[in-house]
Amino acid sequence: GELLRLKGANKVLMDYNDTPETKAMRRQLQAINQLIGNATIGLSSKPEGMRADLSAKRLYRVFNDGRFDLGGRFYGGWWINEKRANRQLITIDGQQTVELDYSAFHLRMCHHLSGLTVPDKGSLVFRASATLWANSACAAWYCSNAEGD
């Protein structure tokens, strides 16, 4: 199947004409798929009831609303939709992997860029600030300020 998939506003896949940008994205994804294809991606132990096809390693991307600047989420790899508990068991070429925690990433970035100390993760202020709307607001603030540079 096609590595780059474009959905219209109606969520249905649509045809598109290649551009230098789509060709570059496709080449990049082909290179990623080649690396993944040459690796052994498995599990340190297989959880009871897990039905994932561990041979499903070929990635593709889906873009939305008829635009290549919206979406772009990766699909296809068996690990992408696995439960958190199962993802902790993933190995690459026999080596255990680590899943990084990006909770409140934008909030932390905004504090850092503003020269402020990030509140303790357990504090009420931090928990209240780490909501999705706060992350989105910080991202919008950062992006609007970055454009002026």
Residue type, 39: A
pLDDT tens per residue across all 149 residues of the chain: 899 999 999 999 999 999 999 999 999 999 999 999 999 999 999 888 888 899 999 999 999 999 999 889 999 999 998 888 888 899 999 999 988 766 667 777 777 787 877 766 655 455 454 555 555 565 565 566 555 54
CA distance linking residue 57 with residue 102, whole number of Å:
24
**Structure confidence at residue 61 (pLDDT):** 96
- Return the closest-CA partner of residue 7 out of 64, 77, 73, 89: 64
- Return the closest-CA partner of residue 58 out of 82, 81, 32: 32
CA distance linking residue 1 with residue 71, whole number of Å:
18
Are the C-beta atoms of residues 54 and 41 closer than 8 Å to each other? yes
At 60-78, the pLDDT tens digits run 999 999 999 988 999 999 9
Q: What angle (nearest 5°) sits at the alpha carbon of residue 91, between those of residues 89 and 97?
A: 75
- Return the closest-CA partner of residue 19 out of 11, 8, 27: 27
